[in-house]
């Protein structure tokens, strides 16, 4: 028995030694795997052109949209246009029976001819020294008054023919032929749709950003229009005007974007969404996964030249799908922790794998796809 026990002891000693060293495929492999899982990856911020898109609900208006009204009381005699018809400047739209106005014009023309005859007769008498120069001047004034009256009545007669003030499209006809219409009554509307004015409201903060960017000329601005069917309008727009006052209740200020409308696709009263694409030149961007939050503030770990990680607060200007545009807190020369930040403490020296920004951008694109 004693001899058998002595023989077994060396074997037990060997087994215990192997267990203490760690068998292949067991504890050593687990430690290596755990080390890889907690690998720290660092990179640097990247300066690049970034497109920021902002969307605003909008209302679409014609450049010129007027109400066509009756200028004189009477019966509608002719309506030579149809609803939805395109007209040219000066085209006749409505005619009112002009009998009364024509009669008045004829009467005033007769009065003007009579005044002219009296003036001519008085002038001949003055040459024969029968009447004074004052008498001639009096009849000359009567002639001028009669001519002015003729022009007035002729203008009133002209008002019986309502003409297009500009090229445009006729809207619904509110009165029909033979209707008795009163002075000032609306007959239809006329819209000039060659250029559309698109109005949208911008919050005060974004207005200030826009004005600062325009002053410094750091951004390129591109304006698009998204229609109600989800399709983009084929013509690009531009900011045409900014109104003078803010709305105190909403904190917004109205902007106007101008869109050419050569195919007359857009009509007065439509709605849609304005897309403003702002190109930020040389903006500092970092991946979102490099950022962590503490009490509503955002931080990253920055690795200094001695490989010591320090927590640093950053301010984000814009948030895109997978990157942050940094307003302050970082420079392109800084080195930040991209992965493994959870196992780092502030002021701790770290070992890391350095990854170029170009490779990080490629990885982001790959994951997005």
CATH code, domain carrying 336:
2.40.420.20
Q: Indicate whether 99 and 185 sit together in one domain.
A: yes
Q: What are phi and psi of 216, to 5 degrees?
A: -85, -10
Picking from 190, 218, 236, the residue at the C-terminal end of a domain is: 190
Q: Indicate whether 87 and 175 sit together in one domain.
A: yes
Average pLDDT on 50-55 reads 89
pLDDT, residue 362, reads 54
Residue 28 lies in a domain: no
CATH code, domain carrying 231:
2.40.30.170
- For 132-184, the DSSP string reads -HHHHHHHHHHHHHHHHHHHHHHHHHHTTEEE-SSSEEE----S-TT-EE-TT
pLDDT, residue 98, reads 67
Residue 344 has pLDDT above 60, yes or no: yes
Q: Indicate whether 170 and 310 sit together in one domain.
A: no
CB atoms within 10 A of CB 70: 21
CATH code, domain carrying 114:
2.40.50.100
Residue 85 lies in a domain: yes
**Pairwise pLDDT comparison (208 vs 97), residue with the higher score:** 208
CA dihedral angle for residue 182, residue 185, residue 188, residue 190, rounded to 10 degrees: 120
Q: Which residues contact 342 (CB under 8 A, 6 or more apart)?
A: none
Residue 7 lies in a domain: no
Q: Indicate whether 197 and 174 sit together in one domain.
A: no
Query: Which of these ranges, 12-26, 116-130, 250-264, has the smallest mean pLDDT?
Result: 12-26
Q: Which residues contact 182 (CB under 8 A, 6 or more apart)?
A: 70, 73
pLDDT, tens digit, 9 for 90 and up, residues 230-264: 999 999 999 999 999 999 899 999 999 999 999 99
CB atoms within 10 A of CB 93: 21
Report residue 363's pLDDT band, with 50, 70 and 90 as the boundaries.
low
Q: Tell me which H or E stretch contains 87.
A: strand 86-87
Q: Indicate whether 230 and 167 sit together in one domain.
A: no
Q: Indicate whether 355 and 299 sit together in one domain.
A: yes
Picking from 241, 263, 281, the residue at the C-terminal end of a domain is: 281
Q: Indicate whether 89 and 159 sit together in one domain.
A: yes
Picking from 263, 281, 299, the residue at the C-terminal end of a domain is: 281
pLDDT, tens digit, 9 for 90 and up, residues 133-173: 888 888 889 989 989 988 888 887 777 888 999 999 999 99
pLDDT, residue 12, reads 47
pLDDT, residue 271, reads 95
**Pairwise pLDDT comparison (85 vs 368), residue with the higher score:** 85
Supply 208's token pair: 């200030």
pLDDT, residue 11, reads 54
Q: Indicate whether 183 and 196 sit together in one domain.
A: no
Residue 26 lies in a domain: no
Report residue 3's pLDDT band, with 50, 70 and 90 as the boundaries.
very low
Q: Indicate whether 259 and 356 sit together in one domain.
A: no
Q: What share of the chain is helix, strand, coil (3-state, %, to 5)?
A: 30, 40, 30
**Pairwise pLDDT comparison (153 vs 273), residue with the higher score:** 273
Residue 268 lies in a domain: yes
Q: Indicate whether 214 and 107 sit together in one domain.
A: no
Closest CA to 357 of 48, 47, 46: 46
Average pLDDT on 57-66 reads 95
Residue 9 has pLDDT above 50, yes or no: no
Closest CA to 325 of 280, 368, 284: 284
Residue 290 has pLDDT above 80, yes or no: yes
Residue 34 lies in a domain: no
Query: Which of these ranges, 45-54, 87-96, 132-141, 353-362, has the smallest mean pLDDT?
Result: 353-362
CB of 202 closer than 8 Å to CB of 56: yes
pLDDT, residue 121, reads 86
Query: Which of these ranges, 10-24, 147-161, 195-209, 325-339, has the smallest mean pLDDT?
Result: 10-24
Q: Is 62 exposed, middle or buried (0-12, 13-18, 19+ CB in 10 A)?
A: buried
Residue 22 has pLDDT above 60, yes or no: no
pLDDT, tens digit, 9 for 90 and up, residues 170-211: 999 999 988 888 888 999 999 999 999 999 999 998 899 888
Q: Indicate whether 179 and 271 sit together in one domain.
A: no
Query: Which of these ranges, 10-24, 122-136, 349-363, has the smallest mean pLDDT?
Result: 10-24
Residue 284 has pLDDT above 70, yes or no: yes
Q: Indicate whether 246 and 185 sit together in one domain.
A: no
Residue 32 lies in a domain: no
Residue 24 lies in a domain: no
Q: Which residues span the domain enclosing 229? A: 53-63+192-281
Half-sphere exposure of 353 toward its Cβ, with a 13 Å CA cutoff? 13
pLDDT, residue 133, reads 84
Average per-residue pLDDT in the chain?
83
Q: How many domains does the chain have?
A: 3
CA dihedral for 111, 116, 117, 118, sign (positive or negative): positive
CB of 137 closer than 8 Å to CB of 119: no
pLDDT, residue 28, reads 44
């Amino acid at each position: 028995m004693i001899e058998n026990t002595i023989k077994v002891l060396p074997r037990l000693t060997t087994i215990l030694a192997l267990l203490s060293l760690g068998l292949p495929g067991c504890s050593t492999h687990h430690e290596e795997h755990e080390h890889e899982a907690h690998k720290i990856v660092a990179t640097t911020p990247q300066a690049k052109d970034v497109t920021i898109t902002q969307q605003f609900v909008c209302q679409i208006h014609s450049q010129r949209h007027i109400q066509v009204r009756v200028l004189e009381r009477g019966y509608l005699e002719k309506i030579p246009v149809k609803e939805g018809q395109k007209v040219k400047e000066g085209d006749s739209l409505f005619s009112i029976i002009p009998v009364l106005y024509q009669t008045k014009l004829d009467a005033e023309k007769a009065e003007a001819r009579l005044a002219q005859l009296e003036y001519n007769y008085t002038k001949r008498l003055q040459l024969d020294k029968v009447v004074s120069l004052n008498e001639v001047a009096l009849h000359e004034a009567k002639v001028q008054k009669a001519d002015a009256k003729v022009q007035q009545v002729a203008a009133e007669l002209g008002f019986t023919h309502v003409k297009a003030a500009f090229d445009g499209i006729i809207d619904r006809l509110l009165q029909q032929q033979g209707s008795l219409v009163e002075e000032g009554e609306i007959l239809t509307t006329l819209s000039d749709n060659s250029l559309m004015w698109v109005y949208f409201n911008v919050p005060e903060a974004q207005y200030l950003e826009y004005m600062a960017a325009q002053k410094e000329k750091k951004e390129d601005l591109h304006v698009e229009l998204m229609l109600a069917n989800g399709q983009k309008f084929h013509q690009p727009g531009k900011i045409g005007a900014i109104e003078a006052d803010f709305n105190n209740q909403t904190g917004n200020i109205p902007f106007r974007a101008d869109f050419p409308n050569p195919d007359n696709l857009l009509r007065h009263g439509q709605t849609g969404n304005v897309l403003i694409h702002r190109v930020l030149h040389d903006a500092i961007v970092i991946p979102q996964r490099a950022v962590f939050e503490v009490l509503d503030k955002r931080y990253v770990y920055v690795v200094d030249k001695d490989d010591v990680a320090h927590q640093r607060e950053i301010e984000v200007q814009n948030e895109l799908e997978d990157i942050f545009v940094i307003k302050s807190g970082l420079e392109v020369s800084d080195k930040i922790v991209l992965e493994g930040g959870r196992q780092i403490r502030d002021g701790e020296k770290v070992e890391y794998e350095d990854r170029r920004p170009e490779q990080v951008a490629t990885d982001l694109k790959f994951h997005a796809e």
